[in-house]
Amino acid sequence: MSDFWQYEKGVGEQPPARRRALLAKVFDTDAAHEAFEAEDSRSARRETLNRLRMSGSDRTLALVQSSMLDQLDGMVESQPNFAPVIDRLRRQLALCRLALPPVLQWPPLLLDGPPGIGKTFFARMLAEVLDTEFAVINCSSVTASFVLGGNSPSWQGSRPGRVYEILQGGRCANPIVLLDEVDKLSTDARFDGYGPLYQLLETRTASEFVDEHVGLPMDASHVIWIATSNNLGAIPKPILSRFDVATVDGPSAEDLKAIAQSVYAGILAQNPGWRAAFRSRLPDHVMGRLADMPPRAIRKRLIDGMGAAALQTQARKRLIPDLCEADFIIGESRRTIGFLG
């Protein structure tokens, strides 16, 4: 059995009923302590090394549970246009369940499709279902490799890269990290934004990844990479070859109704006070109104409509807001926005 992991309560295999959190060694805190002692007391790197040695070397590994397969089925209902992707992930998770230990992992996955169809929302929901940490790197704002991999301590304003920050600041060794719009990374020869990914997307080299600011190896091989793109042709072929590419089509009108219902349920789950005031499901006529909008716009329009409903309910001293179609025509008409009845 691989020696990179141990159970939180003692090392090695334990009976299933007694298992606790599984740990992976991500950082070498002994090396961090030695580097800290040798570093100039005024340097930014010294402070980084101090935080590292205090945070510890180990991070928890998320494991695959049998219930996750059923939860993925639920995602098909809420995001039906991702059904082929979910089926692919179900197969990967079934293989993970055969492993000892059943660590959550799969090869880097690239979701390619038109903008606004819910790729980022899907990745966020997936992390919730799989009970692992989630981080987003907005690649359209990554102008150089140091954003991902850190920059030299000799630079003014030097700091670690996002990959180090995610692992050092988190509790999980295998978070889902979303490279949003990876096709928009800078390809400038001087500051190639893709540079660190050549190492990070390969398990062997990711296990010895060195953030330039920190200057010490870390094990980033457990990170679960998901990327989104709108244009595969803009991605360098060596990077593209490291991904398992899944093409995602835009949702149909019926798909969008299911997505609207899912987004609405998510809004209520995040706001318990709202859940007590609004009905648990959207009326059919409201879902029909939302079905002509891209998934990216549905959440904003729902919150706008729910706000209009709440205002009218308070004005009329009602208890339960009844969402109506008129609540969702903000910016399209000067008609009164309110409630039925």
Final residue of a domain: which of 247, 270, 285? 247
- Same domain flag for 91 and 203: yes
Domain count, the chain: 2
- Same domain flag for 241 and 265: no
Q: How far apart are CA 222 and CA 4, in angstroms?
A: 11
- Same domain flag for 221 and 257: no
- Same domain flag for 89 and 224: yes
Residue 61 pLDDT exceeds 90: yes
Tens-place pLDDT, residues 33-60: 999 999 988 888 999 999 999 999 999 9
Check residues 4 and 107 and name the one with the higher pLDDT: 107
Q: How far apart are CA 206 and CA 217, in angstroms?
A: 9
% of the chain with per-residue pLDDT over 90:
51
Looking up residue 232, the CATH number of its domain turns out to be 3.40.50.300
- Same domain flag for 192 and 213: yes
Residue 36, domain member (yes or no): no
Residues 6+ apart with CB under 8 A from 259: 78, 79, 118, 251, 295, 298
Final residue of a domain: which of 202, 226, 247? 247
Q: Which domain holds residue 307?
A: 253-328
Q: How far apart are CA 339 and CA 321, in angstroms?
A: 7
- Same domain flag for 117 and 230: yes
Residues 79-85 have a mean pLDDT of 93
> How far apart, in Å, are the Cα atoms of 219 and each of 175, 187, 252?
13, 26, 42
For the CA atoms of 96, 102, 103, 108, what is the dihedral angle to 10 degrees?
0
- Same domain flag for 221 and 78: yes
- Same domain flag for 141 and 209: yes
- Same domain flag for 208 and 323: no
Residue 41, domain member (yes or no): no
- Same domain flag for 112 and 236: yes
